[in-house]
Amino acid sequence: MKKVVKFGGSSLASAEQFKKVGDIIRAEESRRYVVPSAPGKRFSDDIKVTDMLYDCYATAEAGKKIDDKINKIKERYNEIINGLNLKLSLDDEFKTVAENFMAKAGKDYAASRGEYLNGIIMANYLGYEFIDAAEVIFFNEDGIFDADKTDAILSERLKTVERAVIPGFYGALPDGKIKTFSRGGSDITGSIVAKAIKANLYENWTDVSGVLVADPRIVKDPQVINTITYRELRELSYMGFSVLHEDAIFPVRKEGIPINIKNTNKPEDEGTMIVESTCRQSKFTITGVAGKKGFVAINIEKEMMNSEIGFGRKVLEAFEKHGISFEHIPSGIDTMTVFVHQPEFEGKEQLVLSDIHRLSSPDTIEIETDLALLAVVGRGMKAVKGTAARIFAALAHANINIKMIDQGSSELNIIIGVSNNDFEDAIKAIYNIFVETQV
Ligand code: ASP
């Protein structure tokens, strides 16, 4: 049994958190490959080390002195080293980091030091081998992750290493320069390592006991999802769930390796299993409900639209021309509505409208702003009759006007458009009807 264990920033923010992590790793022989993040927040107003590094590097780029800022970052690490009673000094490392900052080694190099230094501490604390991610994780000339090269080199390297710490979040470009993934990218590193060693399980340790059925900022103490499929998670992530980096799913998915989201502060909780497919029923008809505010609906009307071949393409061409991606396009006989992100659309609004006119000659175009989209997601919905009826009854009961409904034939999700103002109430109403009343 081989497991990759990735720990997020809050799990490694202090010596106390490191000790919990140490206990977790030592509790199971199979936890052999460890991917750490940089130290995160110790309390809500704290600053993540990654943000301190970005800030410090901006100061260096501006040609100003960075001594104070470097010392503050060093203090964060020394606090951990001392709290763990390690005989380790990062003085030389910090000297190099400061020199490279002044030599303008790049923003990505700067940010990556958070994980790099935390990895050195972790390896020292556990007695595991330290492997610099720059030697085993690769990007191509365009800065795109190079999965094939990485997999070949990383799997070869790990063949002979029983136990290792590989810092998350970064790798190297073909010229050796450091490149990071987008924020939260240590999740991706964990997934890549899991694929390379053909792990039985990828454990992703964080500060919540799994993926929640709804956003806890909207619903009080929402239930934890026991098992969720990759597809369901992708739908929910797209609509704002943020437990795991979106791109972390792809490497393990190809190998059929499940991901287990676990809570470092409550290791006894089962957490959430993210799997390819499962015969385990979800506890409720829905797996989760998520949503986002800030959409615009562009309503296009044209008599006899239904018989004009190519009308939809012409309309969408106007959006494509201006680099705007559409979210949904519900349509009627003589109407077509295009949902787009408001911030993406606002600045280009008039240009898009005149292109729609030029390309498709509609009768009228109307714009409705400040809309929210909700995704009710669940593999179980397919088998249950009346799910849509229950959703709409709950929304009607909560006095919420539905602006749009879209259900794909996969029946994995139902998308509902409401006004931004009704967004929170809509999420609560749907959660209540499926979870609180247990139907
Ligand atoms: N430390 C990086 C960040 O704050 C990457 C990570 O934690 O996954 O985004």
pLDDT tens-digit map of 76-89: 999 999 999 999 99
Task: Name which of 184-198, 296-310, 407-421 the model is least confident about.
Answer: 407-421
**What's the 390 CA to ligand 1 centre distance in angstroms?**
40
For a mutational test of ligand 1's pocket, the pick from 37, 205, 244, i.e. the residue with the most ligand atoms closer than 8 A to its C-beta, is 37
**What's the 52 CA to ligand 1 centre distance in angstroms?**
12
**What's the 434 CA to ligand 1 centre distance in angstroms?**
34
| pLDDT over threshold 90, residue 408 | no
Give the pLDDT confidence score for residue 438 in this predicted structure.
63
Nearest atom within ligand 1 for CA of residue 8: 7
Give the pLDDT confidence score for residue 360 in this predicted structure.
93
| pLDDT over threshold 70, residue 439 | no
| pLDDT over threshold 70, residue 227 | yes
Nearest atom within ligand 1 for CA of residue 185: 8
**What's the 266 CA to ligand 1 centre distance in angstroms?**
22
Taking residues 333-355, report their average pLDDT. 95
**What's the 185 CA to ligand 1 centre distance in angstroms?**
6
| pLDDT over threshold 90, residue 279 | no
**What's the 20 CA to ligand 1 centre distance in angstroms?**
20
Residue % of the chain over a pLDDT of 90: 88
More confident residue, 277 or 160: 160
For a mutational test of ligand 1's pocket, the pick from 50, 170, 180, 187, i.e. the residue with the most ligand atoms closer than 8 A to its C-beta, is 50
Q: For atom 6 of ligand 1, which residue has the closest CA?
A: 184
HEC string of the chain equals CCEEEEECHHHHCCHHHHHHHHHHHHHCCCEEEEEECCCCCCCCCCCCHHHHHHHHHHHHHCCCCCHHHHHHHHHHHHHHHHHCCCCCCCHHHHHHHHHHHHCCCCHHHHHHHHHHHHHHHHHHHHCCEECCHHHCCEECCCCCECHHHHHHHHHHHHHCCCCEECCCCEEECCCCCEEECCCCCHHHHHHHHHHHCCCCEEEEEECCCCCECCCCCCCCCCCECCEEEHHHHHHHHHCCCCCCCHHHHHHHHHHCCCEEEEECCCCCCCCEEEECCCCCCCCCCCCEEEEEEEEEEEEEECCCHHHCCCHHHHHHHHHHHCCCCEEECCECCCEEEEEEEHHHHHCCHHHHHHHHHHHHCCCEEEEEEEEEEEEEECHHHHHCCCHHHHHHHHHHHCCCCCCEEEECCCCCEEEEEEEHHHHHHHHHHHHHHHHHCCC
Nearest atom within ligand 1 for CA of residue 38: 1
Residue % of the chain over a pLDDT of 70: 99
**What's the 80 CA to ligand 1 centre distance in angstroms?**
18
Question: Ligand 1: residues within 6 Å at CB?
Answer: 9, 37-38, 48, 50, 114, 168-169, 183-186
How high does pLDDT run on average in the chain?
A: 95
Task: Name which of 30-39, 315-324, 382-391 the model is least confident about.
Answer: 382-391
